[in-house]
A and B are shown apart, each in its own frame.
Chain A
């Protein structure tokens, strides 16, 4: 049987602005394919963030709403409350979600908003040029931690999945990674499960995707994947942290 590789109709056919080796392209495809497989494109509303994926509005081929920095969970809340039948997801980076938008994501999870968050953690601010994020690893050099992140000075990185799992409103919380084909397949399955739960009317779901930023990490795409495997997964363990559907 011949296998034909086709792009899903849920992505637009325009050139992407992402850097070589960036994880956003993969994650966009996983999200679009998952929605497509659930036949939910006509009811999908994506909320894009501020950061590199601010341009996601141009790449997802369904209704899209762009939110201010960190506010995507509040915007998603407004959309979902107005259109309970819609499949609403927010797509947010680590600066957006874990720093400026920490309050919004915690409270969306606390309320058990029936929305899904795709949280892209690449341990750095991409769009602004590689500054320290709340998820930057200790010792990691960035534009604002040139000598490496100092835990005494600015604390240790925040583990969002572990934190949000403690909230009653959180229904499905998992962390996946893009460093190997097996992990990417797992990521797709996990994202799809989160959307399935939303379509079933279940509570708040968040999938954290460990991703790369070769440009701001100062690495080649391959080196970046290796760095993710060796350093990020050690601090951010993969797995399902909460699954009320499996309880």
Chain B
């Protein structure tokens, strides 16, 4: 298994954080992982993205240029990364923020109204975790849901533990949305 994915969105959407959840969960399951954020001018002007690699074998390049999966939290991210996804790969679009449709017919595409779903479960800031849930539902072989919850505990730490329950609800809401559509 070699999963190379890009999580992309605006700064403040928690895009880098869900990438960390995935990397941390991979490590907890004994896999090799890397997490590489964009930084500097790339971040200014609002876009933030990270490349996450999860693998059974030692990871050579941490830099992802041809991902298996792209999570686009907004339109600029979709425009930037849609064409880079490998054929047969996963593309998840946050349809709360854009009505754009994918122009690729060789991908597994999901349109997830993440903000609305997050609001519905009472965690309006949890759109990022909704999307992570959707991603895991479409790619169940990467890491187990229970491990992601453990990873969230680890990454949130004691200071932010109060956000855990809301995030677990958002995660399941994302998973359920994909399963039911």
Contact between chain A and chain B defined by CB under 8 Å = no
